[in-house]
């Protein structure tokens, strides 16, 4: 009875242990500069650059929706000068990092988990080890480094896109000009907001890479196991991103 | 060359290897036979330290390896090669990249030298003109031969084969069996082969080790096993023979 009651806790502790173990080993390779940089560049393109269009679409539309909601009220109350600053403030601090990370978790986290999961069930990861290659060094470290570089970079592009999309709606629909829209952005968005957003993005990148890799490399049970690992990677990553975001928001702002 | 002493491997509460004492001398071909789930593949994986032994000792070239760290074990693995059941070729790479992979990772050879070794290894396993093919464009037999070529890339002193003939037709089975003997003759590799194929085992083996419930029951040539009088071995060999319950016609 006690064993059954404690089972989810034991599973959760084991899972955190796997994440911590893989993170520690990966960081060791980073510290030794023992990362395959050719593979890292390949993954920066494959996982990062190829994710830019969908991320920009999601964050761009979010900026437009935000603009419709905010601008209408601002025009009504005669506070249009705050539109740009308000939207940029929310976009930089929360929306750009979180939405980019969520899109990346869906697109990249699932891709990592399914690729490594397929390798696991077809014994390719054992084959790597038998060829004296450490799978964490060869498979995990380049992916994590690629995401640590690309997710903050995509977040910057996404944030700018979201703000510009919001301005486009404010200008086209409500006639707000650029000077008015821009006027409060430098006053409301400070350097530390941008730095905090980059820190958040970097930590989200580690979370997505780590969960995708752990799910992939512990896949069991053939094709259905790969499907399960892929789903788990997305679900666990997204929940972790929101939980981590809350903690970071409390700590950083 | 390869030796285990009282090797025990447990998965949770299940004991898969229960005190295995095994030895393969340099240049010898030893076949591991036994029913499904008896621990043959687990023994191969334990020798490569792909799984950790619960207790007991493993020696490769006289060096104890069961307590080595992963980094130190990688140095030992460079002296060994393993051929997996379905080949386990990297599906993101073509045949040339698969065979070249260990050379690129562990040597400072120039691309020209690597290409020459890849060509030579593929020729040794009877493959030509497939360098640019992806693993999914190869037949089962070709995949296994590429896997053997990849395992041979670093000129290992020992090769471990996990059911290299499973699912192959008789002609391909004979081809792969010949290949195992040729690899020993050409490179002097010690070979440990897991198989259910009694004909292939009797043809290629210097010695057959029968495993049952995680223990080695007996070792010897096929006729010695047949004469040993152990009821389980007799039943197994009869079942595996052509016309037997599993051996087919």
Do B109 and B103 touch, CB atoms closer than 8 A?
yes
Which of B70, B88, B103, B140 would best serve as a mutation to test chain A binding (most A beta carbons within 10 A)? B88
Please report, rounded to a whole number, the percentage of residues in chain A having pLDDT higher than 70: 98
- pLDDT tens digits for B96-112? 999 999 999 999 999 99
Q: Least CB-CB distance to B50: which of A118, A122, A130? A: A130
- CB contact set of B58 (below 8 Å; sequence gap of 6+): B2, B3, B4, B7, B46, B47, B49, B64, B65, B66
Radius of gyration of chain A (CA): 21
- What residues in B contact A134, CB-CB < 8 Å? 70-71, 74
Q: Chain A: residue nearest B158 by CA? A: A130
pLDDT at B167: 76
Confidence tier at B244 by pLDDT (50, 70, 90)? low
DSSP A51: G
What is the Cα–Cα distance from A118 to A167, expressed in whole angstroms? 44
Q: Chain A: residue nearest B147 by CA? A: A127
Closest CA to B52 of B22, B8, B15, B82: B8
The residue assigned the tokens 């780590």 is: A210
- What residues in A contact B88, CB-CB < 8 Å? 122-124, 126-127
Q: Least CB-CB distance to A126: which of B71, B74, B88? A: B88
Q: Least CB-CB distance to A127: which of B75, B84, B106? A: B84
Least Cα separation, residue B20 to chain A (angstroms): 22
pLDDT at B187: 83
Cβ separation B105–A131 shorter than 8 A: yes
- State how beta strands B80-83 and B158-162 pair: parallel
Closest CA to B220 of B33, B3, B1: B33
- pLDDT tens digits for A183-195? 999 999 999 999 9
Confidence tier at A88 by pLDDT (50, 70, 90)? very high
- State how beta strands B190-194 and B29-33 pair: parallel
ipTM of this complex: 0.90
Q: In the 3-class helix/strand/coil scheme, how is B10-32 assigned residue by residue? A: EECCEEEEEEEEEEECCCCEEEE
Position B6 pLDDT exceeds 90 = yes
Q: Is B58 helix (H, G, I), strand (E, B) or coil?
A: strand
Position B247 pLDDT exceeds 70 = no
Written as six digits, the tokens of A37 are 């940089």
What residue ranges define each of the domains in chain B, with the CATH number in brackets? 1-79+160-249 (3.40.50.300), 89-155 (no CATH)
What is the Cα–Cα distance from A128 to A118, expressed in whole angstroms? 14
Q: Where are the domains of chain A?
A: 2-252
Which of A129, A130, A136, A217 would best serve as a mutation to test chain B binding (most B beta carbons within 10 A)? A130
pLDDT at B248: 43
- The A-side interface with B (CB below 8 A) comprises 118-119, 122-124, 126-127, 129-134
Confidence tier at B242 by pLDDT (50, 70, 90)? low
């Amino acid at each position: 009875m006690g064993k059954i009651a404690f089972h989810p806790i034991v599973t959760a502790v084991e899972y955190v242990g796997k994440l911590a173990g893989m993170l520690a080993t990966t960081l060791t390779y980073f510290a030794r500069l023992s990362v395959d940089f050719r593979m890292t560049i390949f993954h920066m393109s494959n996982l990062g650059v190829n994710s830019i269009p969908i991320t920009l679409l999601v964050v761009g539309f979010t900026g437009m929706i935000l603009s419709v909601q905010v601008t209408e009220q601002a025009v009504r109350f005669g506070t249009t000068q705050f539109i740009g600053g308000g939207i940029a403030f929310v976009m930089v601090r929360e929306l750009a990092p979180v939405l980019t990370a969520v899109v990346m978790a869906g697109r990249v986290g699932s891709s990592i988990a399914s690729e490594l999961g397929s390798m696991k069930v077809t014994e390719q990861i054992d084959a790597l080890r038998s060829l004296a290659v450490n799978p964490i060094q060869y498979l995990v470290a380049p992916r994590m480094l690629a995401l640590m570089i690309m997710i903050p970079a995509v977040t910057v592009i996404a944030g700018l896109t979201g703000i510009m999309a919001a301005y486009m709606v404010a200008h086209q629909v409500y006639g707000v000009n650029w000077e008015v829209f821009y006027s409060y952005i430098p006053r409301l968005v400070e350097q530390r907001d941008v730095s905090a957003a980059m820190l958040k993005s970097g930590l989200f990148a580690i979370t997505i890479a780590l969960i995708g890799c752990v799910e992939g490399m512990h896949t069991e049970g053939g094709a259905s196991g790969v499907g399960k690992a892929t789903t788990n990677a997305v679900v666990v990553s997204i929940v972790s991103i929101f939980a981590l975001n809350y903690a970071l928001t409390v700590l950083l702002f | 060359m390869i030796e285990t002493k009282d090797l025990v491997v447990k998965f949770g509460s299940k004991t898969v290897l229960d005190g295995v004492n095994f030895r393969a001398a340099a240049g010898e071909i030893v076949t591991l036979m036994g029913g499904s789930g008896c621990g043959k593949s687990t023994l191969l994986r334990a020798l490569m330290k792909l799984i950790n032994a619960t207790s007991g000792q493993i020696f490769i070239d006289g060096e104890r390896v069961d307590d080595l760290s992963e980094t130190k074990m990688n140095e030992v693995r460079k002296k060994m090669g393993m051929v997996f059941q379905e080949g386990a070729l990297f599906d993101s790479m073509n045949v040339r990249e698969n065979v070249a992979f260990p050379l690129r990772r562990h040597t400072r050879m120039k691309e020209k030298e690597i290409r020459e070794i890849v060509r030579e290894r593929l020729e040794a396993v009877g493959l030509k003109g497939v360098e640019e093919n992806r693993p999914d464009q190869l037949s089962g037999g070709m995949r296994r031969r590429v896997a053997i070529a990849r395992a041979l890339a670093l000129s290992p002193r020992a090769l471990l084969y996990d059911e290299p003939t499973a699912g192959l037709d008789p002609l391909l089975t004979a081809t792969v069996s010949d290949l195992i003997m040729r690899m020993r003759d050409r490179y002097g590799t010690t070979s440990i082969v897991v198989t259910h194929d009694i004909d292939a085992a009797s043809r290629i083996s210097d010695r057959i080790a029968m495993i049952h419930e995680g223990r080695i029951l007996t070792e010897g040539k096929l006729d010695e096993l047949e004469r040993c009088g152990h009821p389980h071995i007799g039943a197994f060999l009869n079942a595996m023979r052509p016309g037997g319950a599993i051996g087919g016609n």
